[in-house]
Amino acid sequence: MKFFYLSTNDNDQGFFEIHERECPHLPPLLQRDYIGLFNSAKEALKKAINFNPNASLCSICSQKLVKKRDSSANQIIEN
C-alpha cells in the first residue's frame, strides 16, 4: 500500500493533483492534504473526488503507478 496526498493548490488546468509520498512533485506539507493508504492511484482518486470533484492524478508519479502488462496472463495490472 502507498500513502497518497491531494494538493491544496490547483494546477494550470484547475485540477488538484493526487501524489504518492515518493513523488518528486509532492507539494510542501502545508500545501497538501493526506488522503490515505491505498493499493492504487485509482483508489485514491475515487476517494479524493468525493470531497474535491476537481481532483486528478499527477502526471509524474501516476506514470509509475498505473498499468503495466503481465505478459504471462495477458492482463493489465497495477503496481
Per-residue confidence (pLDDT) for residue 61, from 0 to 100? 83
Question: Does the global pTM surpass 0.85?
Answer: no
Under 8 Å between Cβ of 74 and 68 = no
How many domains does the chain fold into? Answer: 1
DSSP E strands in the chain: the ranges are 2-7, 16-20, 32-38, 55-57, 67-70, 75-78
Residue 63, amino acid: Q
Residue range 8-27, pLDDT digits in tens:
999 999 999 999 999 999 99
Rounded distance between C-alpha atoms, residue 30 and residue 63, angstroms: 25
Under 8 Å between Cβ of 7 and 19 = yes
By percentage, how much of the chain surpasses pLDDT 70?
A: 80
Per-residue confidence (pLDDT) for residue 60, from 0 to 100? 86
Query: Which residue segment(s) compose the domain that 59 sits in?
Result: 2-78
